[in-house]
A and B are shown apart, each in its own frame.
Chain A
Amino acid sequence: MQTQAYLVVATLIFLIGAMGFLIRRNILVLFMSIELMLNGAAMLFVTFSRQLRQMDGHVFVFFIIALAAAEAAVGLSILIAIFRLKHRVNVDELTELKG
């Protein structure tokens, strides 16, 4: 019962993040949607860790958080570089890499 409730919350957070990533056009909001999806996945790890009585899931959440920090640093510096060049944050207008 308790495990199911936690899993449903984690899934809902992941789905909201995925929905936001597909619908929104502002690159900052896309970035934050990715963070939401990562958090939904982390919540799943913690819930199953408790269900299975093994702490390996907690270690994986540690790795997820480290990865999110690295992603935030690189992603935001790319964003600053793009904004300095184009003064736009709408992903539909950033088409330089389109072949």
Chain B
Amino acid sequence: MKLTFWEITPITLFIIFIAPVALVLYSLTGEYSDNWTHLYEFVLTGYIINTVYLVTGVSILVSIIGVGTAWLITNYNFSGKNIFEWALILPLAVPPYILAYTFTGLFDTFGTANNLIRDVFDLGREFTFFPKVRNIPGAIIVFSFTLYPYVYLVSRMAFINQSRTMLEAGRTLGLNKFETFYKLGVPMIRPAIIGGLMLVIMETISDFGAVDHFAISTFTTGIFRTWYGMYDIETAKQLASLLLIFAVTLILIERYSRRNASYSNAMSLYKPLFLTKLKGIPNTLAFLICFTPIFIGFLLPVMELLYWALNYKLDFFNEKFITTAWNTFYLALIAAFLCSILAVIINFSIRYKSNNYLKVMSSFLTVGYAVPGLILAIGVMQMLTYFDQSFISEFSNFILTGSVMGLVLAYVIKSYALSSSTIEAGYQRINSRVDDVARTLKTSGWALLAQVHLPLLKTSFLTSMLLVVSEVIKELPATLILRPFNFDTLAVYTYIYAAEERMYDAAAPSIAIVMVGLIPIIILTRMIRTSRPASRD
């Protein structure tokens, strides 16, 4: 069979996307150094215990916040409900490491909140009102209040699709309102909750910035220390492999749980839920339950950042900031364009060639999203070093290693899933008969893509670009490893200042990251508004 561009591209991408991950895993078959023995005997248990604590705590808190708020929003009418419905996803714009920095700034012994309490109540310097946050419970709060929107979003959609008749059946069988919620409502949407929860866990285990700032030893901080402290990349890769195996196990669990996803969706019998109007104390309680996560996850950090920026560093738009912002934006734009155009080409190939192998290959291309940025960075670095040593070192110095190209490659592999799902959704809206007709009108291949599909995918393409831009701007661990010398992005800039406890200097890049992160959130809120069935209000 003669392969065409539409088959060769997915195969090539498959190899490029899988190679870094395979290289990391391959390290498990190599030799284990003394550092590994040291880590295994003294540190590894600590990493595992801390990671398990974090994941368990975050999972519980995120489930309570995400599912609870989604249930309130979909079943009740209360003060501020229409605003909460979309505002509850605002914390997605704040990466955990930025919330961690602001939390420290707020609640440390001489942080803004403790100073305020001392000033208001005229207390001495030795008095500390708020407990320390640089510990595992603090990290659990940070992750939970920035990541709960993943669970909120999927739970809300699943609750909307629940039929009134099923819940009413529960009520007639003697369940009160609360029992209806946890015995019927929640179990029926369990696959959706697990799906959201897996995303939260992935983000938690792959985070570097927040745990590093809180000085909590986890796999990610361990990998960094092994590499940059012990200069032992092989052991770092072996540690990364363990984390990767954990991540892959989670994906498999998530896929397994989705197997039963259809049981919560009896659309043929669907009757929209009636909203119960809350008054008095229940109304206030519902308001507070929805307001608190928005306050802690979004308003508090944004207010603290603005306070720092405006009071202490009015000249933050200096030359360095502008250079860093420019680096960040052009990298993000290149990565976003590449991701989006590749997603278009791959999805077009699948549609044009109607080939099941391409479909399977395409699903493998999206696994980068689940691979922690740190692991990906190690794999990409390894791959580029191999290319440099094998093909380029004879003619010149290392070109690929430590170049912007590695960074872009890591971003593309990590963010491709966002583009692919957006473009795929766009393609689902284009009737396949359009392609049939176009082909009879002598339009195929590139012409079909350029003249028919691309104009129809314009909105999906832009959405994909925005999603990737905001993802790349927030990305920290891969950027830290792969960035060229003296090359900073906003996330790195924030990290470096925060690591030096120069929080006021960290404010400007943090605000920039949050502002850019808000763009896809605004798109999402629009989608949420339009997804609300009219009959339910």
A binds B: no
Where the two chains meet, the residues of B that have a C-beta atom closer than 8 Å to any C-beta of A are none
Where the two chains meet, the residues of A that have a C-beta atom closer than 8 Å to any C-beta of B are none
